[in-house]
Amino acid sequence: MNSEKVEIFDTTLRDGEQVPGCKLNTEQKLAIAEKLDELGVDIIEAGFPISSPGDFHSVSEISKLVKNSKVCGLTRANQKDIEVAAEALKFAKRPRIHTGIGTSDSHIKYKFNSNREDIIERAVQAVKYAKSFVEDVEFYAEDAGRTANDYLARVCEEAIKAGATVLNIPDTTGYCLPEEYGEKIKYLKENVKGIEKAVLSCHCHNDLGLATANSISGVINGARQIECTINGLGERAGNTALEEVVMILKQHKKLKLYTEVNSKMLNDMSVLVSDLMGMPVQPNKAIVGANAFAHSSGIHQDGVIKNRETYEIIDPVEVGVNASTIVLTARSGRSALAYRFKNIGFEVTKNELDFLYQEFLKMADRKKEIDNNDLTAIIERITRKI
């Protein structure tokens, strides 16, 4: 069986920018959009045009700039939102309107004070109206994660009949377990009439740390688009991290799924977004964290020095990191020390190494990390004594 493509829908500039304190100006958004386009994402969600004049302007400028990716604008299910989004997207080569409404009983009751039938009607009207402006209309069933599957299937069926080309199934509150979310996608694949005309999309939040696992479960069960953000930024605990899903599909060829993202740009992309948003990346973040390719314990270091594959499942070069690092700490062993001495130009014999190692440990117990200057200082001190 041939591999199938999973489209990558980046929402760093919309859901990602909803992080408190991460507000970007138009110039910063353009810099990110240009790089996302180069990275090879299929869709860039540029913003929520009706939300503010600044966001409208950004979506409009991004639409003019982006060459390859589709450019998407978010709306609620009402005419004004859709008209404003269509206007902001009018310069896009490949515009998409992303419209939708809450479908869980909780959203229907508390947000809309409405009922299931009325919600379907509003969804249909929104999709039809969006379709009068653009060919490519994505429908989101907000809080689909907590929406009953049979009702969700009816909503999806009506959205497809109204012209939706993509159906977004958001786990808005990050509540689902991977198995449940996968079953939901499978249920829709099997029970929605006309589903072959639309792409199912995963949009998972990370409230329980399951966003990536849920998205992968979604594509295993038939979804063919993942909505995600650089560094996993997003509302509350964030969204599915783009770099994680891209590398999971790349490393697990058995899934027979691929993306067209250039993984070698992932590290630079992460740094750009982190710098512009003023949002540091946690050091142990998968793929793009400072420690993602750093080895600090003696046993691991010895293995990696002998063969990288002993403790690394990804070649760092594949994500744009030059090489893995051997960090010297009090947990490091002789082999890491010899390796680092060699790197800075000192070939040491076994006896010398035994002696240097004791000196190193004394220093490492005092300092958190030993750098090349410290190693040179150890050598100089010992040479002076001799």
Q: What residue 73 binds from Zn ion, ligand KIV, none (CB within 5 to 8 A, per partner kind)?
A: none
Q: How many CB atoms lie within 10 A of CB 22?
A: 16
In this complex, which beta carbon is closest to ligand KIV, that of residue 160 or of residue 379? Answer: 160
3-state secondary structure of 122: helix
Encoded tokens for 49: 């045009």
Which among 11-19, 22-30, 148-156, 185-193 is the span making contact with Zn ion, rule CB under 5 A?
11-19
Q: Which partner in ligand KIV, Zn ion, none is near 76 (CB below 5 to 8 A by kind)? A: none
Which residues between 154 and 213 bind ligand KIV (CB under 6 A)? 168, 170, 172, 203, 205
168 binds, among Zn ion, ligand KIV, none (CB under 5 to 8 A by kind): ligand KIV
Residue 140 forms beta bridges with which residues?
100, 168
Q: Which is nearer to Zn ion, 12 or 267 (CB)?
A: 12
Residue with smaller CB distance to Zn ion, 214 or 332: 214
User: In degrees to the nearest 10, what's the CA dihedral of 374, 376, 377, 379?
Assistant: 130
Q: Per CB under 5 A, which region of 8-16, 27-35, 39-47, 128-136 contacts Zn ion?
A: 8-16
By the rule CB under 5 A, 138 interacts with Zn ion: no
15 touches Zn ion (CB under 5 A): yes
Do residues 222 and 185 make contact, with C-beta atoms less than 8 angstroms apart? yes
Residue number of the CB atom closest to Zn ion: 15
> End-to-end alpha-carbon separation of the chain, Å?
68
Task: Provide, for the chain, the percentages of residues in helix, strand and coil under a 3-state DSSP scheme, each rounded to the nearest 5.
Answer: 50, 15, 35
Q: Which residue's CB is nearer to Zn ion, number 213 or number 356? A: 213
- Measured N-to-C along each axis, helices 211-220 and 242-251 cross at an angle, to the nearest 10 degrees, of 50
Q: Phi-psi category of 255—alpha, beta or left, where left has phi over 0 and alpha has psi -120 to 50?
A: alpha
Minimal distance, residue 204 CB to ligand KIV, in Å = 8
For residues 374 and 365, the answer to whether their CB atoms sit within 8 Å is no
Tell me if 142 contacts ligand KIV by CB under 6 A. yes
Which residues in this chain contact Zn ion in the complex, by CB under 5 A? 15
Which residues in this chain contact ligand KIV in the complex, by CB under 6 A? 15, 140, 142, 168, 170, 172, 203, 205
